[in-house]
């Protein structure tokens, strides 16, 4: 299996929304995904693809020297074989290339799988947003990674799978606003 990472396209939205819907109790709407497809300064919307199948996605934003992971999910049938890590590495690389020095995100306190992934990528807990999530109500742990100290990873080999990320070469400029309310 070879999984590649590329820019998301409008034609990917059906698969992306299917993954989102089975992944979250409070899923993003089609409109929220669509707004990130529009090329906006500082935005990055990546998908992981196996053949013609979209198997995951990651959305980030850069403002000044800060970046934020807004959303990431992998097809449940394809989890735990390195695809989430591949997407996160590509997203961090994209933000680093756009001038981001650090990356922030929020994660449900009980989301052990995601927290393991973030821990492995150098994220550290910076605080707690009490009762941040709904359905079910739960605290968010605020995590931060220093993009200067995390190495670019282009190829990941895990459990016999070769995961090849295409080089991320676009340079994005900072946007002027950095809301956090969409963050998973
Ligand atoms: C979080 C998510 C994107 C990770 O994707 P993935 O493809 O399974 O991730 P990987 O296979 O690259 O695994 C990354 C690490 O997390 C670990 N991991 C994955 N799922 C795990 C689980 N359920 N419990 C514990 N650890 C888990 C893996 O063992 C791996 O650790 P390692 O690098 O030390 O081997 C995926 O689980 C997902 O889509 N979850 C639902 C959506 C979600 O919670 N998104 C994050 C919101 S903040």
| 149 assigned to some structural domain | no
Confidence (pTM): 0.86
Residue 81 clears pLDDT 60, i.e. is over it: yes
Q: How far is 87 from 68, CA to CA, in rounded Å?
A: 14
| 82 assigned to some structural domain | yes
- For ligand 1, what atom is nearest to the CA of residue 74? 39
Please give the residue range of the domain that contains residue 30: 2-102+154-164
- Whose Cα sits closest to atom 1 in ligand 1? 114
Tell me the pLDDT tens digit for each residue of 112-151: 999 999 999 999 999 999 999 988 999 999 999 999 986 5
| 182 assigned to some structural domain | no
pLDDT at position 135: 86
Q: Is the CB of 80 under 6 A from ligand 1?
A: yes
Q: How far is 102 from 67, CA to CA, in rounded Å?
A: 6
- Whose Cα sits closest to atom 42 in ligand 1? 73
CATH number at residue 80: 3.40.630.30
pLDDT at position 158: 44
pLDDT at position 93: 94
Residues of the chain with pLDDT > 90, as a percent, come to 73
| 20 assigned to some structural domain | yes
| 169 assigned to some structural domain | no
Q: Is the CB of 120 under 6 A from ligand 1?
A: yes
| 46 assigned to some structural domain | yes
End-to-end CA distance of the chain: 28
Tell me the pLDDT tens digit for each residue of 152-180: 544 444 433 445 544 443 322 233 323 33
Residue 19 clears pLDDT 50, i.e. is over it: yes
- Interval 76-86 mean pLDDT: 96
Q: How many domains does one find in the chain?
A: 1
| 75 assigned to some structural domain | yes
| 26 assigned to some structural domain | yes
> Which tokens is 80 given?
């735990």
Tell me the pLDDT tens digit for each residue of 35-77: 999 877 788 999 999 999 999 999 999 999 999 999 999 999 9
Q: Is the CB of 23 under 6 A from ligand 1?
A: yes
What is the DSSP secondary-structure string of 14-60? HHHHHHHHHH-SSPPPHHHHHHHHS--TTEEEEEEEETTEEEEEEEE
């Amino acid at each position: 299996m070879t999984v590649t990472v590329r820019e998301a396209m409008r034609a990917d939205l059906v698969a992306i929304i299917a993954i989102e819907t089975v992944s979250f109790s409070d899923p993003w709407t089609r409109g929220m995904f669509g707004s990130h497809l529009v090329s906006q300064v500082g935005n990055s919307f990546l998908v992981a693809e196996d053949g013609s199948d979209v198997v995951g996605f990651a959305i980030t934003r850069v403002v000044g020297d800060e970046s934020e992971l807004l959303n990431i999910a992998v097809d449940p049938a394809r989890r735990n074989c390195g695809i989430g890590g591949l997407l996160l590495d590509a997203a961090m690389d994209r933000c680093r290339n756009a001038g981001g020095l650090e990356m922030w995100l929020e994660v449900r306190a009980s989301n052990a799988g995601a927290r393991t992934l973030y821990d492995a990528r150098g994220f550290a807990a910076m605080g707690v947003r009490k009762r941040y999530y709904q359905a079910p109500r739960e605290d968010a742990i605020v995590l931060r990674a220093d993009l200067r100290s995390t190495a670019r990873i282009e190829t990941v080999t895990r459990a016999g799978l070769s995961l090849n990320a295409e080089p991320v070469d676009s340079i994005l400029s900072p946007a002027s606003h950095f809301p956090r309310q969409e963050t998973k």
